[in-house]
Structure 1
Amino acid sequence: MTSTKTNDALLFVAVAIAALAAPLILAPFGAGYPDLMQRFAIYGIFAIGFNILFGLTGYLSFGHAAFLGVGSYSAVWMFKLLSMNIVPAIVLGVVISGLFALLIGFISLRRSGIYFSILTLAFAQMSYNLAYSVLTPITNGETGLQILLSDPRVLDGPSNGSLPVTMLFGLEMRDVFWNPTVFGYELQFSYGYYVCALIMLLSFYISMRIFRSPFGMMLRAVKTNQNRLSYTGINTRPYTLAAFVISGMYAGLAGALLASMDPLAGAERMQWTASGEVVLMVILGGAGTLLGPVLGAGFIKYFENILSKINSNTLDGWFAFMPQGMGDAAAWLVSPFVGSGWHLTLGVLFMMVVIFLPGGLMEGAQRIMNLVSGKSRKRAGEATASTPAE
């Protein structure tokens, strides 16, 4: 137990250092600007919450994007009606998403396995279609919900003629408060990113406590053998429903943060592709692990940003050192995997991980650590054997 607590503390410290130093760490990789770093943190929260449901209980939801969208819509409505301060918006987004998850979970959890997955997918698609058409007065349909100069914002003063920006007690989320140049890289430290990073760290800590709690142990038991628990007289539905609601609240928090960084909410955030993306994040990083979902979210969002921006001119520059015919052929071969076709690269990477690393990136990291530690022990053993006895 002491060893587990120590390892968890070290892991949390490592994640905190990486999150706080992200502008410096990510700058050499072309990802050290606020918009992308905010997405790393926000989708990390989304994946952490999904992992509480899928990683611990084994219940695979294909409809979690519904809660992401509900959180975004709730936050934007708070910006329109109350204030541009992000605190009320985040609170409302989490609460409404939790209530919505309670309703959907109460119905969907009457089934398990693929039937549960199909039910959640159906609810998410119904939510998407309602937001896109029937609930247009609330969601603004395909245009998306956004703030307007005519919005009341009862807690804010009168507008000065320009659209207000989201803020945290006067600190504007879009502001860069420090912009140094280190080792030739221009770093951008913004309020928006650090708000997202601190909330992500809090979410990660809560997830860690859930994993190590008796509640988390019960969720693992549900995943291992739910029928056996039922035979012993334990009603598992309250536990699975609680996990579903907590997971939905995480998704609502992520949606509210997306709206807090950019006050716009659209129905596309509720589409089935967004639900599939978080499934990929968790499986790619390592379902059931603490750090895996964060790694998976960062991995996918990084490649989405980098690969989707590669165009024909970039490819021509890459292969300019080759003879013209060979360079054109190489660019032609690579072009389907970048730009608008970057999902093909993601699919190939996902297939390789599933085939060779079923436990995700965390399994790969564990194998490397075992290999390094094995070599270290082997060298220590050889050194001891070569030392003459006194």
Structure 2
Amino acid sequence: MAGGKLFGGSLSRHDLYLLGGFTIAVLTMPLWLQPLGAGYPDLIQKFAIFGIFAIGFNILFGMTGYLSFGHAAFLGAGSYAAVWCFKGLTMNVLPAVCCGILVAGLFSLAMGYISLRRTGIYFSILTLAFAQMSYNLAYSVLTPITNGETGLQLTREDPRILDQMFVEAGDGLPLTNLFGLEMQGYPGFYFCAVMLIIAFFVAMRIEKSPFGMMLRAIKSNQVRMNYTGFNTRPYTLAAFVISGMYAGLAGSLMAVTDPLAGAERMQWTASGEVVLMTILGGAGTLVGPFLGAGIIKYLENIFSAYNEAQLHETFSFLPDILNNVVVTLISPFVGEGWHLMLGGAFMLIVIFLPGGLMEGVRRLRLLFNRLTPTREPRGSVLPAAD
């Protein structure tokens, strides 16, 4: 497929404003998330990584309507490829990221070539089956490559051929780096943030390109397009592979920030999680999947840490009786029961905002436009009264 068809769409002024606002919001996350208790590096790294995962998944699901339950397989493949690159070549993160994207792309090409022979629920079941097969292979059969249930980790005996040629070995395990800058803490976050901004930009160009228009047409009525003699399969396969490469990028960034890979990253629950992220934020939108990923990871890491003692302290300004009542009502939805809060929020959004949170933003914008009085242009002449 020609590069002009894939990335040839021009960006409007509105798109440039959106890209600029998104870039500023991502780069300043440590500042504006600090009051919410989420400004520390480990969590905002997850926001960026799973944002990439969700944005890539949206290229397949949001644009073409193909619901895949197998994208965790590409996430795990990217992680394994990155860790092997760290073990065999260098601790520099750029080769690892490239390896993760390449391996995930080849894997998604093979899976997509078979799965896309079916559509609808049959396609979803096929991808789910492939993902579960991948998980079982990584967990048991491919133990020499994946190290089974223990997971693939770095050791001091790893060859690291390029590092041995140019970098003097230390006493302990080496750290991932970008030409000497260690990818720990905020430097690791900003590397992930730059990758997220690039991924967002590429998704925006795809959406505005003729290729993106073709994907939306397939989602609208693929049967009619096939009846006209148009072959839609190369387009759906390309969308599947691009989406898988996004997942591989996310998986390799997981290894960049924490250099290990395990089979649990390939479980079907991880595939279901990215579906929830995309639907929660708004499938078919650019910002929605990232927003959904951030909300789910925030709930998982913040509300899951709450216990009754912390709730009592949070609502200490209330009288004791009301404090006990409020804590009793809220406690089932935090801590180990945070999934109840997530499930309740997901139900409310699906019922009242079928288009996700971005539909709510659109409704608020329309309401604001209605309430804002329109000003008469200067020099206009009012009509004479009858």
TM-score w.r.t. length of structure 2: 0.92
Residue matched to 1:263: 259
Structure 1 Cα separation of the partners of residues 187 and 260 of structure 2: 19
Which residue in the other structure is 1:163 paired with? 173
Q: Whole-Å Cα distance in 2 between the matches of residues 317 and 246 of structure 1?
A: 47
Identity of aligned residues (%): 65
Report the counterpart of residue 63 of structure 1 in structure 2: 70
Shift of 1:117: 0.3
Partner of 2:159, secondary structure, is coil
The correspondence of residues 22-41 of structure 1 with structure 2, limited to 5 A, is 22-41=29-48
1:279 alignment partner in structure 2 = 275
Match of 2:355 among 356, 359, 368: 359
Residue equivalent to 1:85: 92
Equivalence for 2:229: 233
Runs (5+) with no aligned partner, structure 1:
176-189
Counterparts in 2 of 1:11 and 1:80: CA distance versus 1, 3 Å? same
Any conservation in 2 of the 1:292–1:360 contact (CA below 8 Å)?
yes
1:305 corresponds in structure 2 to 301
Q: Which residue of 2 aligns with 1:15?
A: 22
Q: Is the 8 A contact 2:304 2:334 kept in 1?
A: yes
Distance 1:134 1:380, change over 3 A: farther
The aligned counterpart of 1:6 is: 13
Distance in 1, Cα, partners of 2:10 & 2:249:
32
Structure 1 CA distance, aligned partners of 2:55 and 2:10? 23
After TM superposition, the structure 1 stretch with the greater mean CA deviation from structure 2, 316-325 or 61-70, is 316-325
Match of 1:174 among 181, 184, 189: 184
Deviations 1:340-377 (A, max 9, x none): 11111001001111111111111111111111121113
Trace 1:111-122 onto structure 2 (pairs within 5 A).
111-122=118-129
TM-score, normalised relative to structure 1 = 0.91
| Counterparts of 2:137 and 2:245, CA distance in 1 | 21
Q: Point out 4+ residue stretches in structure 1 off by more than 4 angstroms.
A: 321-326, 378-381
Contact 1:143-1:266 at 8 Å conserved across structures? yes
- Residue pair 2:74, 2:104 contacting (<8 A) in 1 also: yes
Native 8 Å contact 2:11 2:208 kept in 1 = no
> 1:155 is matched by which residue type in structure 2?
L
Aligned equivalent of 1:205? 201
Q: CA deviation at 1:335?
A: 1.6
The residue number in structure 2 matching 1:143 is 150
Give the equivalent residue in structure 1 for 2:57: 50
Q: CA deviation at 1:378?
A: 6.0
Equivalent position amino acid for 2:297 in 1 = K
Structure 1 residue 385: Cα displacement: 12
* 1:97 aligned residue (81, 96, 104): 104
How far did residue 320 of structure 1 move?
3.5
C-alpha distance in 2, partners of 1:51/1:328?
43
Is the 2:288–2:357 contact (alpha carbons within 8 Å) kept by the matching residues of 1?
yes
Aligned pair count reads 371
Write the distance in 1 (CA, Å) between the matches of 2:331 and 2:133.
Answer: 36
